[in-house]
Structure 1
Amino acid sequence: METVNIIHHMNEFRNILSYATNIGFFFGAGTSCAFGLPDIMSLTVESKASLSSSQQILFDKIETSLKDLGGKAKVSIEDILNYVRQIREITQGRPDYDFSGISGDEAVELDKAICKAVFDVIKEKEAKADVSDIRRFMAWYDSANRGFVKEIYTTNYDMLLEMAMEANYTSYFDGFTGSYEPFFSPESIEVFPNDNDSTSKWLRLWKIHGSLNWMKKESSTISSERIVRIGKIDTPINELMIYPSKEKYNLSRKEPFIAYFDRMKQYLQRGELVFICTGYSFLDQHINDIIFNAMRQNKRLYVMVLCYLDDQVDTMSSYATAHMNLCVMGPTRMIANGIEREWIYDESTDADVGYKLYWDEMKKEFILGDFRKLIEFLIENSGRKSMIEEIANEK
């Protein structure tokens, strides 16, 4: 396999960050794992354990069916919810209809119970998380005084990003509007703000799989059924709106999902953009289709994928060799311009005093697939470190 000197490549990375006119981010579960939240399989085990015994029996039944039907060795909470919601749709939630031995009302209650279990598991871990490094990242991103709309897309349900931004007094928008019970407003995310818009400098946070503080508000005498965003909550009183599935079973679930993905398509195709993906394993085909279609249509889009493990590089190999505007970087190898190469560190021709920010000398590995290490690298190379630290340390 060919080799590439990581010093030369990271010099190019620094130049890209310095001169890019537009930088966006996509955060997968790995970014939250860096701060103590569970990965998908750990979340599956812990969520199942908090279900009632009868619900665990249904859970096991679905897990067995999925393994038999799909040949999966591991079934995640997302797979379970997909299946439950398909049953819920087919049976219309009725007790007198069943599918695969699970009645409609059992599917409804299991859906709610799983979402509540996910809430409890993540909320417990969230309370223990130290978001000081995320505050530093947000301060870095928000202080980049460039004329572009700063956007973060994430599949994570937790609220670490919101906690960090609000601790920094950073203004942001997530598609919800209102004060009493903020409701999702698809019209508000269809248009990109211009320079005269007072919100143009706000960060945009698009939680494309939902959030722990999204609830379904039942219809009443004064309003129809809608999705609302609650503030800080300890116990949900309505059905949680988190969607790890690609198949949504009614209009109220589809609306935020479709609106966010339409926004993502527009964003990736608007012109020059460096789009940095971290903590994401590219296992959601719907998301992948949007990213790769945009790369084919917009030659000024450059996607950089930072991988925590080399297994993720293997997953990306077929994509990366087919797209010249995709760069994949893992611990021991990378793919750029369609060619896979192994990292080497050779300072004989070009020394780099800051190499420890991206290179583990003992393991001989690239380390920016770790979100915490990426944050440190971005700040150290920003030229604004003292200002960023001041913002992030403000009480």
Structure 2
Amino acid sequence: MEEISVTKEISELKSQLSYTKNIGFFMGAGTSCALGLPNISQLTEQVELLLKPELIAHFNIIKNDLKSKNPDITTSIEDILNQFRRIREITGERADSNFLGVDGLSAKNIDIEICKHIYNLINDKESAASLKTPKKFFAWFNMQNRDYSKEIFTTNYDLIIEKSLESIRAPYFDGFVGSYEPFFWQESVERHIKKNDLTQNWIRLWKIHGSLSWFWKGNANTKSHKVIRLGRVEKIEEERNEIVIYPSKEKYDSSRRQPFLVYFDRLKDYLLSGELLFIFSGYSFLDQHINEIIFNCLRQNNRLSVVVFFYSDEEVERLEPLSAGYLNLTVFGPKKAIVNGIFGVWKFEQFELNMKASNNRFWCETTNALLLGDFNYLVDFLVANSGRQHEIEITTNEE
């Protein structure tokens, strides 16, 4: 297997960060896990334990059916929710129509119940999580070049990002407008920001899998739904509207297409917009819809440079068959990497560091592994090499 110099690639990354004017980020579940929030496997187990006895039977029907179809893949709460939503759609949510023995009304009730448990589980961990790392990250990101809009795409539905941005008073926009019940405004996401626009320097936050603060509000007259964003919800059990998380990967109901399809279009347009350094942290590349957009854009835009940080080498190995021929894709794992289409293992040589450089921000000599797959270490690395560490620390510590 090829040996790849980790110090050389880190040096190249530092250069990119210093000279690239346009930098975007994609934050996956791993960034929230680094802050102590549960991962998808933990959520699946915890939700199942909390379900009411009368709902467990239907839950097990769907879980076992999915397992039988894909025995080599671990069934997650997301997979189960997607299946219940398909049943809701094909049965019209009617009690006298069923699929696999699960009627439409029961599918609706268990969907709502699962989402409320997810809300409570995430909210409890989120309340106890330290915001120091994400605050440092957004203080750093907010100081980047002001000639381009700063865009964050995320599959996370927790509110860590919003809380961090508001804590450091960094202005941001997520596609919703209004104050009483902010509603999704499609044109605001599709619109390209001009240099003299007042909001040009605002961070753009696109939550492509929904959010714990979004809810479906139905219209009984038109039989349609719209997405609204609510503030703090004291008791989710008393909320009548459904939480907008885990959208189905399949064809959306016509009344529920927004904002998800709009965000996917925004991701594609952003990646094709010209010179761009786009960094992934905490994303495992398991969503085929997102992957298709990423690789199509890598082929079409030769000024796009994608950098991926993985927490485990298994993720690097899984991505390797897809990465062949993409010279504008660099993948950093703990001990393995993909650089210029070559899959290899890291080689660390102390003498390759220049006199003022230090490896303690990115390399662990005890385990001989790169640390940057952990969001906490990645943020420390970005801040330490920004030349504005003191300014960022002051912003982070302000109340």
- Of stretches 146-155 and 96-105 in structure 1, the one that deviates more from structure 2 is 146-155
Q: Check whether the contact 1:273–1:302 (CA below 8 A) recurs between aligned residues.
A: yes
1:257 is the counterpart of 2:260? yes
Aligned-partner Cα distance in 1 for 2:333–2:222: 53
Q: Check whether the contact 1:307–1:330 (CA below 8 A) recurs between aligned residues.
A: yes
Gaps of 5+ in 2: none
Q: Check whether the contact 1:320–1:328 (CA below 8 A) recurs between aligned residues.
A: no
RMSD: 1.6
Q: Check whether the contact 1:26–1:152 (CA below 8 A) recurs between aligned residues.
A: yes
Q: How does 1:136-175 map to 2 (within 5 A)?
A: 136-175=136-175
Q: What amino acid sits opposite 1:137 in the alignment?
A: F
Q: Check whether the contact 1:320–1:327 (CA below 8 A) recurs between aligned residues.
A: no
Q: Deviations over 1:313-366 (max 9, x none)?
A: 011101222311111110001111111121111123444632110000100000
Aligned-partner Cα distance in 2 for 1:71–1:251: 32
Change (3 A) 1:349 1:65: closer
Aligned-partner Cα distance in 2 for 1:234–1:75: 31
1:55 is the counterpart of 2:59? no
Q: How does 1:274-293 map to 2 (within 5 A)?
A: 274-293=277-296
Q: What amino acid sits opposite 2:375 in the alignment?
A: F
Q: CA deviation at 1:249?
A: 4.2
Q: Deviations over 1:127-164 (max 9, x none)?
A: 11001110010000001133111000000110000000
Q: CA deviation at 1:15?
A: 0.1
Q: CA deviation at 1:7?
A: 1.3
Match of 1:86 in 2: 86
Q: What amino acid sits opposite 2:387 in the alignment?
A: G
Q: How does 1:1-395 map to 2 (within 5 A)?
A: 1-219=1-219, 225-236=225-236, 237=239, 238-351=241-354, 353-395=357-399
Q: Check whether the contact 2:306–2:329 (CA below 8 A) recurs between aligned residues.
A: yes
Aligned-partner Cα distance in 1 for 2:43–2:247: 12
Q: What amino acid sits opposite 2:389 in the alignment?
A: K
Change (3 A) 1:230 1:329: same
Which secondary structure state, in structure 1, belongs to the residue aligned with residue 351 of structure 2?
coil
Q: Deviations over 1:48-102 (max 9, x none)?
A: 2221112122111111000112234421001101110111111010111000000
Q: Check whether the contact 2:309–2:373 (CA below 8 A) recurs between aligned residues.
A: yes
Change (3 A) 1:220 1:81: closer
Q: How many residues align?
A: 395
Which secondary structure state, in structure 2, belongs to the residue aligned with residue 255 of structure 1?
coil
Normalising by structure 1, report the TM-score. Answer: 0.97
Q: Check whether the contact 1:48–1:117 (CA below 8 A) recurs between aligned residues.
A: no
Which secondary structure state, in structure 1, belongs to the residue aligned with residue 219 of structure 2?
coil
Q: Check whether the contact 2:312–2:333 (CA below 8 A) recurs between aligned residues.
A: yes
Gaps of 5+ in 1: none
Normalising by structure 2, report the TM-score. Answer: 0.96
Aligned-partner Cα distance in 2 for 1:360–1:148: 35
Aligned-partner Cα distance in 1 for 2:348–2:247: 40
Q: Check whether the contact 2:174–2:204 (CA below 8 A) recurs between aligned residues.
A: yes
Q: Check whether the contact 1:175–1:184 (CA below 8 A) recurs between aligned residues.
A: yes
Q: What amino acid sits opposite 1:251 in the alignment?
A: S
Which secondary structure state, in structure 2, belongs to the residue aligned with residue 89 of structure 1?
helix
Which secondary structure state, in structure 2, belongs to the residue aligned with residue 226 of structure 1?
strand
Aligned-partner Cα distance in 2 for 1:16–1:309: 24
Q: Check whether the contact 1:173–1:203 (CA below 8 A) recurs between aligned residues.
A: yes
Change (3 A) 1:43 1:18: same
Aligned-partner Cα distance in 2 for 1:220–1:350: 65
